[in-house]
Amino acid sequence: MAGEGGGTAGVRLRPPDNRLSERAVGLWRVQCLLTTAVPVTVLAVLGALIAPARPWLLTIAGVLAVPGLAGTAFFPAWWFRVHRWEVTDEAVYVRTGALWQEWRIAPMSRIQTVDTLRGPLEQAFRLATVIVTTASSKGAIKIEGLDHELAAELAERLTRITQATPGDAT
């Protein structure tokens, strides 16, 4: 568990309430499929072109494909069930991870910047990531898999709240 609220009154570690967009499952499936398909395709093409190495390359391609496809089918739905986020007037709460869960809190007084990110796949799924940068050595807090309109509203809300919150964000 990691938190950024050490010593900030009223901010405590607790389960965040909000789920990500259900479209995040589709995005993660495509990402997993691409992560599996690229090396498997390269090995299969090389196996087809290099006759002496064909059995080895095709075997390795198959060995990579089976767990990759199984993971593509299983993990995105699991990730969706465990990823949560919430923003209050006091802090940003995020819980990520399936096996190794990480809970993060960013008190409003510690937030330095709020950004949104929409890569090509996120754009195709109408999703976005909100990145909350703090003075923490742990790095920014990312809320991935948000509906792109909700992400824009959230970034605006966080900006308004942090501007009204006293503190030096250090």
Q: What pLDDT is attached to residue 4?
A: 46
pTM comes to: 0.81
Q: What pLDDT is attached to residue 45?
A: 95
Per-residue pLDDT tens digits of the chain, which is 170 residues long:
444 444 455 566 667 999 999 999 999 999 999 999 999 999 999 999 998 988 999 999 999 999 999 999 999 999 999 999 999 988 999 999 878 889 898 899 889 999 999 999 999 999 999 999 998 888 899 999 999 999 999 999 999 998 887 766 65
Cα–Cα distance for residue pair 118/100, rounded to 1 Å: 26
Cα–Cα distance for residue pair 82/16, rounded to 1 Å: 10
What three-state secondary structure class fits 116?
strand
Q: What pLDDT is attached to residue 12?
A: 66
Listed in sequence order, the residues at least 6 apart from 146 whose beta carbon sits closer than 8 Å to its beta carbon are 20, 21, 85, 127, 128, 129, 130, 154
Which residues does residue 129 pair with via DSSP β-bridges, in sequence order? 117
